[in-house]
Amino acid sequence: MTSATLTPETATSPAAPQRKIRSPRSLRTRKALGWIAEHAVLIVLAVLFVSPVVFVLLTSLMSSSQTLTASLWPQPFVWSNYVTVFTTVPLAQWFANSAMYAILATAFMLVSSVPAAYALAKIRFRGSGVLFTAIIVAMLLPPQVTAIPIYVMWSQLGLTGSLWPLILPNLLGDAFSIFLLRQFFLTIPPEYSDAARIDGNGEFGVLWRVVLPMAKPGIAATAIFMFFNSWNDYYGPLLYTSENPAAWPVAYGLASFRGVHGTDWGLTMAMTMLVTVPVVIIFFFAQRVFVEGITLTGVKG
């Protein structure tokens, strides 16, 4: 009968550790807790930003006797508030006015501001620095400073009472848009423009064939800024269209509606939701190119 011989190595070596096998449920729980810990700040910020929107939505579905009470859940849901808004005010006309204002202002801004920003960013000429400084000053100048002389000018032209005094100036460029586009154009390497000039393109050809295709994110971001600014504009319509309800955009119409129906918060919140929905939809579909344009816009110059 033989006996196993114990060597010093086998006698002193520890037993092989046994691995603890975790269940799939435990792994999923650990991953979920890790994800929450990693995104805790973002979750808190998301709740803070979404809570007012949820409050407005729920309030818009309440009756006038239930709003601003301790009850936060509609009992019952008053969907007729949205129908009442459309039958009380010419909301469709206000939406059409805002769409015309925002679309035309954005289009006119792009037609005028893109060439101006290209010239400041890619063409060397005497006085470009002074011109860019003047644009910065115009961007920082409060609109209330020039409101009276500009209003007198449009009044003499017979355009007060309409949105054209707010749309037509964009054909002369927008200071903030020129600044933002110039900063983006500066991030495009000059070798591309030089190669296009060597191929026989003029400055317009360089802009159209080289710069614009490469600057789509920046142009889209600038266009979204202008569209949202025009859609939400209150001061301009107050100044030029207050005496003509047929020319009111939704921003000014909402303020007027709130003044008349201020005690009926269900109707007021329903009107607020209807005004907000188009902007949210546009940003939802354009957020990728918007964020890309803001991220890539440099501070060179």
212-248 pLDDT tens trace: 888 888 898 899 889 999 999 999 999 999 889 899 9
Answer whether residue 23 is part of any domain.
no
Q: Do residue 129 and residue 274 come from a single domain?
A: yes
Residue 120 CA: distances (Å) to CA of 125, 180, 187, 190: 9, 11, 13, 13
> Of the candidates 80, 107, 122, which is a domain's last residue?
80
The whole domain housing 67 covers 28-80
- Asked whether 122 and 211 are in contact (CB, 8 A), the reply is yes
Dist. CA 107–CA 104, nearest whole Å: 5
Q: Do residue 58 and residue 143 come from a single domain?
A: no
Per-residue model confidence (pLDDT) at position 6: 47
> Of the candidates 45, 63, 80, which is a domain's last residue?
80
Run of H or E including 276: helix 265-296
Residue 148: give its domain's CATH number: 1.10.3720.10
Answer whether residue 152 is part of any domain.
yes
Q: Do residue 105 and residue 237 come from a single domain?
A: yes
Q: Do residue 167 and residue 203 come from a single domain?
A: yes
Q: Do residue 101 and residue 121 come from a single domain?
A: yes
Q: Do residue 214 and residue 93 come from a single domain?
A: yes
Helix (H, G, I), strand (E, B), or coil: what is residue 74? Answer: coil
Residues of the chain where predicted confidence (pLDDT) is lower than 70: 1-24, 261-262, 289-301
Dist. CA 264–CA 71, nearest whole Å: 16
Per-residue model confidence (pLDDT) at position 266: 85
Helix (H, G, I), strand (E, B), or coil: what is residue 227? Answer: helix
154: left (phi over 0), alpha (psi -120 to 50) or beta: alpha
Q: Do residue 156 and residue 119 come from a single domain?
A: yes
Per-residue model confidence (pLDDT) at position 102: 94
| Whether residue 76 has a cis bond before it, omega within 30° of 0 | yes
Q: Do residue 151 and residue 203 come from a single domain?
A: yes
Answer whether residue 10 is part of any domain.
no
Q: Do residue 126 and residue 267 come from a single domain?
A: yes
- Which of 17, 66, 121, 7 is closest to 269 using CA atoms? 66
Dist. CA 163–CA 51, nearest whole Å: 34
Q: What is the model's pTM?
A: 0.79
Residue that is written with structure tokens 């006698």 in the block = 11
Residue 223 neighbours by CB distance under 10 Å: 20
Q: Do residue 213 and residue 128 come from a single domain?
A: yes
Q: Do residue 209 and residue 277 come from a single domain?
A: yes
Q: How many CA atoms lie within 13 A of 76 on its CB side?
A: 3
Q: Do residue 40 and residue 158 come from a single domain?
A: no
Residue 79 neighbours by CB distance under 10 Å: 11
Query: What is the number of domains present in the chain?
Result: 2
127: left (phi over 0), alpha (psi -120 to 50) or beta: left
